[in-house]
Amino acid sequence: MIKKAAIRAKPYTEMNAKELAEATTEFDEGGVPVGFKPLDAAGRAIWESVKRKRGRPVIGKGVQVISVSLEKQLLEKANRLAKKLRISRARLIARGLESVLAEERGK
């Protein structure tokens, strides 16, 4: 019989059929594998923070998604410029709007 410690030290991709069958017997019965137990409070907190999606960073007071209609040619130009500047299209549009608002305040 092959020792489990020797089997586990070897990557699954390098095992023969007999070694692989023996190394994976714990998964044959289904359910929770041996050695697993319920999470304690600290473990649960870590798990909750890990599984939470990262999301977008909050900018200012957050963002509001809107739908705006643009001429196709203008949108293509905006996409090209955003790519050239290595910023998102949304950031490019925000910069343009900020510029117009600043100009209007100066009048």
pLDDT given for residue 27 in this prediction = 77
Model pLDDT for residues 42-52, shown as the tens digit of each residue: 999 988 888 88
Residues of the chain where predicted confidence (pLDDT) is lower than 70: 1-8, 32-34
Res 3: pLDDT: 54
Dist. CA 22–CA 18, nearest whole Å:
6
State residue 36's pLDDT score: 75
Comparing C-alpha atoms, which of 17, 13, 18 is closest to residue 2?
A: 18
Average pLDDT of the chain is: 85
Q: What is the pLDDT of residues 60-72, one digit of tens each?
A: 888 888 999 999 9
C-alpha distances out from residue 31 to 23, 28, 34, 43, Å: 17, 9, 9, 20
**Burial class, 20, CB count within 10 angstroms (exposed 0-12 / middle 13-18 / buried 19+):** middle
CA distance 63 to 102: 20
